[in-house]
Chain A
Amino acid sequence: MRNRVRILVPLLAAGLVAACSGGGGAGEPASQAPPGADATAPPAAGGAFPRNETLYTSGTQWGPPANWNPLREWDFATGTKGLVYETLFLYDPDADTFTPWLAESGEWTGDKEYTLTLRQGVTWSDGKPLTADDVVFTFELGKMETVPYHPMWTWLSDARAVDARTVKFTFTKANYQQWANNLYSRPILPKHLWEGRSEDEVMNGANERPVGTGPYTYHSHDQDRMVWVKRDGWWATKALDKEVKPKYIVDIVNSSNEVAMGLLLQKGLDLSTNFLPGVANLVKGNFGIKTYYPEAPYMMSANTAWLVPNTTKKPLDDPEFRKAIAFSVDTKKIVENVYGNLVKASNPTGLLPQWDKYVDQDVVGRLGFSYDPARAKKLLADAGYKDTDGDGFVETPGGGKIALKLMVPAGWTDWMEASRVISAGAKAVGINVEPDFPDYNALVDARNSGTFDLVLNNEKQLANTPWLYYDYLFRTPVRKLQTTVNFARYENEKAWALTQRLDGVGTDDVEGMKRVTSELQRIQLEDMPVIPLWYNGLWSQTTDVVWKNWPSSVPGAPKHAPTVWRNWLEMGGVLMLTEIQPVAG
């Protein structure tokens, strides 16, 4: 007996190993199918996604899809808002235009009254028609305290369905800028399915099997992917003659950017929205990978990276000292050496290129900053910062030592490198700044509670209005925990009053907006509450093996944002899906 077992075990092992390698060989075509050449591989029945009908994306999800709740705008499965739930309008950041989407039209019919007309013939994927009641219901959900748009109800007083297609909104204060932002960022929900859900279910429900008005419905998901399938009867096909091209969208959960790079090179990904350091070389070399711009900066700009000083701490409470830091940063070196030209150096105001028209060149010319170590030294000397103990670093006018820490989350390699450049620049002019790499959670803790010295931040995405940008810079009062805006804890009542005034300027009154933003820029550049450094890109890499006609700066190509990032599908992502074309047939 024992003898037989002794022979059997190694046999079993050998057999298994043989089976594995055999299985590997046999399974190869199936698994190599995404990289291309699927014409030769017969699509397996039922379970498989034919390569030429499937769009593979990645870069949005960093964990298994866990909910399909469009109100959870930060962790819903890729595409929940945009592919399934849709918004009233779309916004094109490049052209600065609103496109009516679920709405047919909308306008201010009074100083404090906005009337919205819904499109006819829009149906939910369960067959029921979209009505004004759904819109009213969606906005009224905001009366629940934990719904992210709850604060809107401090200035919105009433949403009422006049008839099946018309909704009237009445305001106590007309915040035109914020309202315009809400028009394209609030996903409209079906009242007949969401009615009666408790606040807990509304915000914390996973909402499996989402029912929306959009071009796709839920197909399946697993730990490492989210799969959507195109649905028949999407309203825009009839109304706007638009059709999304891929039958399936498979969004791959990122494990790391390296894996995404590997998949992209194997052509297993059509659209990677990962940050891939050094991708410029691949774009220039013959690797079949393309970006929005064929040359630097390669990517559209998506948000501004700032150096945020804690303005409640000495000596960072001194605007002259903050300015000295601003003049000491060699942004060009960060752009070229750290990013390989994948990003663009920022305007001194930090306003994104899409907001260029709001930049007051006059103010910038007078008060702007650039890399100028001599100027930084002079600013320090004039304000009384001198190196009294001869250690090479300046002391405060009172003689106190200065040692500042610049915090960046550990593992964010590009930012870690950038912080080293910033530190070297500051040290060269005599400011002792050391990079510090705590864990992300520890950084959030320090940043929110105001125990940091300096921190890098980019938490404000491109949007329709620079109001959001100034809201980030100037919002007061400063609380014990600053969770989402004004991490610098900068208090300037005048700036905040101006920001609120900007909110009340009509979105079509560009001159009126400019008048306010010009004043805000003057305050910003004089006081330097944050130091804008560079524009992070809308990371996006595409391959032309299965799908072509990707958005690009090349003449004749579509100009939509090439991305499936959360909250970007309504800024062009969904239009991109209607413009791409299959390569074969």
Chain B
Amino acid sequence: MPRYFGRKLLIYGLTFFVAVTINWMIPRFMPGDPVQSMLARANIAQPEAVEAMRVHYTDLFGFDLPLWKQYANFWAALFRGDLGISIWLFPTPVADVIARAVPYTLGLLLPAVLLSWVAGNRFGAFAARRKWLDNTALPIGYLLTATPYMWLAILLAWGLGVVAGVLPVAGAYSFAIQPEWSWDFAGSLLQHWLLPFASLFLVAFGGWAIGMRNMIIYELEADYVRYLRSLGASGRLIRRYAFRNAILPQVTGLALQLGVLVAGALVTEIVFSYPGLGHLILQAIQNQDFFLLQGIFLFIVVGVLIANFVIDVAYVVVDPRTRVGMGGAA
């Protein structure tokens, strides 16, 4: 057991290091100079003034140092918990910018991921047993899972937001109210949350339902099921066994899909102008805000790694065979 987790942790550590390094590198290889773009937007009349400011900000952000030094400083600052200052939202610290956006992203992502997984698996298992349901659920499921998040989001925004006018298409809560502990605010928050959530939920739901449906059909053909059946076991018991076996690849799938889901959430946020991390990433790229971009990716990398680790642990819990295997190895 310790060896298993020790190996896992080592892999996670390596992944973290490489991912963070790539995050650091990529924005710096983009063409352009963030300080110059910032000052270009500033639109100041006097070239002398711009020159003085350019020197000042290049120095302030440390862009005048050699690359290897910038890289070393980056890790040093990271271990102090300092993510730097945003260039785009100067002078707000990156940690503040991210902290304000994270609740929205998590509030969207966690329910969407968990509910779609649970509901998708249930529905898939259920659909596999009903011929007529299977015949309708399968094409719909395929359609849903093949839909890009952003496209479904646009359809929903257009249909329910613009044409029907039932739900708002932008923002996290009404522009007429302020955050407070009230039903008005909670209602507004929920109302704005519903569409982005729905577009994430539906796409993921389709994928899980199809996966589960296929797995159940496969499991129901397995030898142990035939054996159980020949022993005269009840259909209910057989289904329970089949479900437990079929859920295992779905757990692995969840781990594999997490990255895709996060990416989907980011795109969906942009469509609905939902003030989460997705909108920030887009702006950070457009404004060459290295520090904000690094910070967000760092957050995502850590989040996905932690989630994967949790799933690893969960896998050990749900699949007794892994425990037996580890016991034998130890």
Q: What is A's interface to B at a CB cutoff of 8 Å? A: 9-10, 13, 16, 19-21, 23-24, 26-28, 30-31, 33-34, 38, 44, 46-49, 51, 54, 56, 62-64, 66-67, 72-75, 145-151, 203-206, 220, 222-225, 227, 250, 252, 255-256, 259, 262-263, 266, 268, 438-445, 448, 459, 461, 468, 471, 475, 479, 481-485
Contact = CB atoms under 8 A, between A and B. Distances in A.
B273 A256 contact: yes
A150 B191 contact: no
Given A47-B185, A64-B89, A204-B60, 10 more contacts: A16-B111, A28-B191, A34-B175, A73-B42, A145-B52, A222-B179, A262-B169, A441-B34, A471-B45, A482-B47
A63 B283 contact: yes
Interface in B172-221: 172-180, 182-188, 190-194, 197
A222 B190 CA distance: 18
Interface in B30-62: 30-34, 36-37, 39-54, 56, 60
A64 B192 CA distance: 19
A495 to B, nearest CB: 16
B294 interface: no
B275 A262 contact: no
Given A13-B118, A468-B45, A27 B91 contact: no
Nearest to A259: B170
A528 to B, nearest CB: 22
Q: How large is the interface on B (under 10, 10 to 19, 20 to 34, 35 or more residues)?
A: 35 or more
A147 to B, nearest CB: 8
B177 A49 contact: yes
Given A48-B176, A63-B283, A220-B178, A146 B188 contact: no
A442 B273 contact: no
Given A75-B41, A459-B43, A255 B279 contact: yes
Contacts, number: 230
29 contacts: A23-B186, A23-B191, A24-B166, A24-B187, A26-B183, A27-B184, A31-B176, A38-B176, A47-B184, A47-B185, A66-B90, A67-B90, A74-B42, A146-B56, A151-B48, A204-B60, A204-B90, A255-B273, A440-B32, A440-B37, A441-B34, A441-B36, A442-B30, A444-B40, A445-B36, A482-B47, A484-B39, A484-B40, A484-B47
B174 A34 contact: yes
Given A475-B47, A483-B51, A10 B194 contact: no
B167 interface: yes
B92 interface: yes
B45 to A, nearest CB: 6
Contacts of A461: 43
B257 interface: no
Interface of B: 30-34, 36-37, 39-54, 56, 60, 86, 88-92, 97, 100-101, 111, 115, 118-119, 122, 161-162, 165-180, 182-188, 190-194, 197, 270, 273, 275, 279, 283, 286-288
B88 A483 contact: no
A20 B194 contact: yes
Given A54-B176, A66-B86, A146-B56, A438 B182 contact: no
A49 B168 CA distance: 18
B190 A30 contact: no
A87 B51 CA distance: 26
Contacts of A206: 91-92
B100 A48 contact: no
A24 B168 CA distance: 10
A100 B30 CA distance: 48
A582 to B, nearest CB: 16
A574 B152 CA distance: 43
Given A220-B178, A444-B32, A445-B31, A31 B192 contact: yes
Contacts of A442: 30-32
A13 B54 CA distance: 54
Nearest to B288: A441
B42 A441 contact: no
Nearest to A154: B48
Contacts of B178: 46-49, 220, 227
Contacts of A222: 179, 275
Given A44-B177, A441-B33, A445-B31, A27 B182 contact: no
Pick from A225, A252, A255, A442 the residue with the most CB of B within 10 Å: A255
B204 to A, nearest CB: 13
Given A148-B46, A484-B43, A47 B186 contact: no
A484 B45 contact: yes
Contact of B36 (A48, A148, A259, A448): A448
Nearest to A6: B122
B153 to A, nearest CB: 13
A346 B167 CA distance: 43
Contacts of B167: 24
B162 A262 contact: yes
Contacts of A481: 36, 51, 54
A10 B126 CA distance: 13
A74 B43 contact: yes
Contacts of A24: 166-167, 187, 190-191, 194
A64 B40 CA distance: 19
A246 to B, nearest CB: 14
Q: 7 closest pairs, A vs B, by CB?
A: A27-B187, A441-B32, A255-B273, A23-B190, A74-B42, A442-B31, A66-B89
A223 B277 CA distance: 12
B73 to A, nearest CB: 19
Given A483-B36, A483-B51, A268 B175 contact: yes
Nearest to B283: A63
Given A146-B52, A468-B45, A31 B275 contact: no
Given A9-B118, A63-B89, A206-B91, A31 B188 contact: yes
A388 B174 CA distance: 65
Nearest to B160: A24
A13 B119 contact: yes
Contacts of B101: 223
B65 to A, nearest CB: 19
A227 B179 CA distance: 13
A327 to B, nearest CB: 30
B115 A23 contact: no
A485 B265 CA distance: 42
Nearest to B201: A17
Nearest to A200: B60
Given A67-B90, A444-B37, A259 B273 contact: yes
